[in-house]
């Protein structure tokens, strides 16, 4: 609940390694004095009310590995000097009002691996061919901007890349019925590796506008539907109640789910998130479909002895253990799930377990004291 401006005197802390002030009520501009913090390797100022331009002086932070300025009111162009932060592995500037084109110098960030997220800004121009130099990059999100031209063909060489490039522009080009998708500046839409608008239409059609007969699960703030897409792929769609009817905690859970599963690289024991759609009246998440449903449902079934004998139970335990080990030790930013109950473990036909529901998950910053509020399902919360 920290308020007011960031004091420029912080620039005197030249030995500072981590500065994490996210999710507060900070206002004003980012002090240019930050450029003196040459020992800084982690700077997170996301989810505040900061405005003004991103200072060029941040380019002096040659040891910076994580930079998150998302969910503020920052404006102006992306400073080309960011390309001098050559150790950056994670760069997130989304949900601001940045404009201009992507500076080609961003292509110099050859160690950028975890994420480059410039989505939900007012960036324009063509997407620079230089971004293809980021050969280590795993996730690129440029959606909800005003780019022109085509996706650079050089991106084909980035074999590990998951890319999201979409816009409201494309929604206007497709003749979508108004009652299905209202045009609104509050829309947020991303279906990775697909034409997002087409998939939205397919999901609405496949579920007969989310008819209850396609509902396979009901949760505290939404329902889960099975959708058979025209491609033959089957997906699970978690449709939330309208954001107007959700409290702040549920809205934050929706954002946490997206944030966590976009940072997590593919793991066989963690459910795949294919994309999301967010609007004040309708929001949903698109996941891989797990045929056997939740572990909780199987354990409560009268035929559970025939479905889940001792050998399959050991297999489930191993799968969940592998997922936890990956989250805690192998992610670039360690993640604590905080609500690992039987209701949040899904099984496929081969009884392979996948952990899901990262709504209460927290990312931990190394070498910094971290704490979390009480979260999770009663009966599964780790004792204090």
Name the active-site residue from 68, 84, 202, 339.
339
CA–centroid distance for 147 within its chain = 21
Mean local confidence (pLDDT), 309-327: 89
Is residue 195 annotated as a catalytic residue, yes or no?
no
Angle at 40 between CA 36 and CA 46, to 5 degrees: 100
pLDDT at 383 over 60: no
Q: What CA–CA distance (Å, rounded) separates 44 from 365?
A: 10
pLDDT at 362 over 90: no
Mean local confidence (pLDDT), 248-274: 72
pLDDT given at position 286: 85
Joined tokens for residue 379: 């009966």
pLDDT given at position 185: 33
Q: What CA–CA distance (Å, rounded) separates 110 from 89?
A: 9
pLDDT given at position 340: 83
pLDDT tier for residue 20 given thresholds of 50, 70 and 90: very high
| End-to-end C-alpha distance for the chain, whole angstroms | 25
User: Kind and range of the H or E element at 100?
Assistant: strand 97-100
**Surface-to-core class of residue 349, CB atoms within 10 Å of its CB (0-12 exposed, 13-18 middle, 19+ buried):** exposed
- Whole-angstrom CA distances from 44 to 21, 22, 48, 194, 314 are 6, 6, 10, 31, 40
pLDDT tier for residue 341 given thresholds of 50, 70 and 90: confident
**Per-residue pLDDT tens digits for 176-198:** 222 233 333 333 444 444 445 56
Output the average pLDDT for the chain: 78
Closest by CA to 225, choosing from 202, 207, 240, 208, is 207
pLDDT tier for residue 342 given thresholds of 50, 70 and 90: confident
Joined tokens for residue 90: 């994670």
Angle at 150 between CA 147 and CA 156, to 5 degrees: 120
pLDDT at 320 over 80: yes
Joined tokens for residue 92: 């997130």
Joined tokens for residue 330: 């192998």
> Which one is predicted more confidently, 157 or 319?
319
CA–centroid distance for 16 within its chain = 28
Mean local confidence (pLDDT), 323-328: 87
Share of the chain above pLDDT 90, in %: 30
Joined tokens for residue 155: 């991106």
C-alpha gyration radius of the chain: 22
Mean local confidence (pLDDT), 97-124: 90
All domains of the chain in start order, with CATH: 1-165 (3.80.10.10), 294-363 (1.10.510.10)
pLDDT given at position 183: 31
pLDDT given at position 350: 87
> Which one is predicted more confidently, 213 or 193?
213
């Amino acid at each position: 609940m920290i308020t007011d401006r960031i004091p420029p005197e912080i620039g005197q802390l030249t030995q500072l390694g981590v500065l994490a002030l996210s999710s507060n009520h900070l206002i004003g501009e980012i002090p240019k004095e930050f450029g003196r913090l040459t020992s800084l390797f982690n700077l997170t100022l996301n989810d505040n009310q900061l405005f003004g331009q991103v200072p060029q002086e941040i380019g002096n932070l040659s040891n910076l590995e994580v930079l998150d300025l998302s969910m503020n009111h920052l404006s102006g162009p992306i400073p080309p000097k960011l390309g001098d932060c050559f150790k950056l592995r994670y760069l997130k500037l989304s949900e601001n009002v940045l404009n201009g084109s992507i500076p080609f110098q961003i292509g110099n960030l050859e160690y950028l691996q975890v994420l480059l997220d410039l989505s939900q800004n007012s960036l324009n121009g063509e997407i620079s061919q230089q971004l293809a130099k980021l050969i280590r990059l795993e996730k690129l999100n440029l959606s909800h901007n005003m780019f022109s031209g085509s996706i650079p063909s050089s991106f084909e060489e980035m074999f590990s890349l998951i890319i999201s490039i979409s816009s409201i522009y494309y929604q206007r080009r497709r003749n979508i019925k108004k009652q299905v998708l209202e045009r609104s500046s509050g829309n947020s839409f991303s279906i990775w590796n697909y034409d997002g608008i087409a998939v939205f239409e397919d999901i609405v059609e496949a579920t007969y506008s989310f008819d209850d007969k396609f509902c396979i699960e009901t949760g505290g703030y939404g329902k889960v539907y099975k959708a058979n897409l025209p491609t033959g792929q089957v997906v699970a769609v978690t449709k939330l109640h309208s954001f107007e009817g959700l409290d702040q905690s549920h809205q934050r859970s929706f954002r946490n789910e997206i944030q966590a599963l976009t940072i997590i690289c593919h793991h066989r024991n963690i459910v795949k998130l294919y994309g999301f759609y967010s609007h004040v009246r309708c929001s949903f998440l698109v996941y891989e479909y797990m045929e056997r449903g939740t572990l909780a449902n199987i354990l409560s079934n009268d035929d559970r002895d025939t479905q889940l004998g001792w050998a399959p139970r050991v297999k489930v335990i191993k799968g969940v253990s592998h997922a936890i080990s990956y989250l805690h030790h192998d992610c670039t930013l360690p993640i604590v799930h905080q609500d690992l109950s039987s209701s949040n473990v899904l099984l496929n036909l081969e009884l392979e377990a996948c952990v899901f529901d990262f709504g209460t998950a927290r990312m931990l910053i190394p070498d910094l004291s971290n704490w979390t509020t009480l979260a999770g399902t009663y009966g599964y919360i780790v004792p204090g």
